[in-house]
């Protein structure tokens, strides 16, 4: 298993998946909740690619052809 730091997680989400999420936003999610699952390694927060991908999938809607389908 490979672990990513907040910076690496932000880069993966932004550059790898095309979904811009800053380190600052990930830090906010750590505090208030609602973000991807994370683990602690000492004082550091680390993420797995699977946890990041699962979080993204949970946030994405089903494909739609118009906005009225989102209700």
Does residue 23 form part of some domain?
A: yes
Is residue 68 in a domain? no
Q: What is the dihedral of CA 32, 55, 16, 11, to 10 degrees?
A: 20
Has residue 34 got a pLDDT over 90? yes
For tokens 């990041």, the residue is 52
Q: Is residue 26 part of a domain?
A: yes
pLDDT band at 33 (very low <50, low <70, confident <90, very high): very high
Q: Give domain status of residue 66, yes or no.
A: no
Domain for residue 27, yes or no? yes
Q: What is the pLDDT of residue 56?
A: 97
Q: Does residue 12 sit within a domain?
A: yes
* Helix or strand (DSSP H, E) at 43: none
Number of domains present in the structure of the chain: 1
Q: Is residue 34 part of a domain?
A: yes
pTM of the entire predicted model: 0.87
Give me the domain span that covers residue 9: 3-60
- Assess if residue 65 is contained within a domain: no
Q: Which helix (H) or strand (E) holds 55?
A: helix 49-59
pLDDT tens digits along 41-67: 999 999 999 999 999 999 998 888 888
């Amino acid at each position: 298993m490979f672990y990513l730091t907040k910076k690496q997680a932000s880069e993966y989400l932004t550059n790898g998946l095309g979904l811009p999420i800053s380190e600052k936003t990930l830090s906010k999610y750590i505090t208030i909740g609602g973000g991807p699952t994370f683990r602690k390694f000492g004082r550091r927060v680390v993420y797995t690619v699977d946890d990041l991908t699962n979080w993204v999938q949970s946030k994405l809607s089903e494909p739609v052809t118009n906005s009225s389908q989102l209700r």
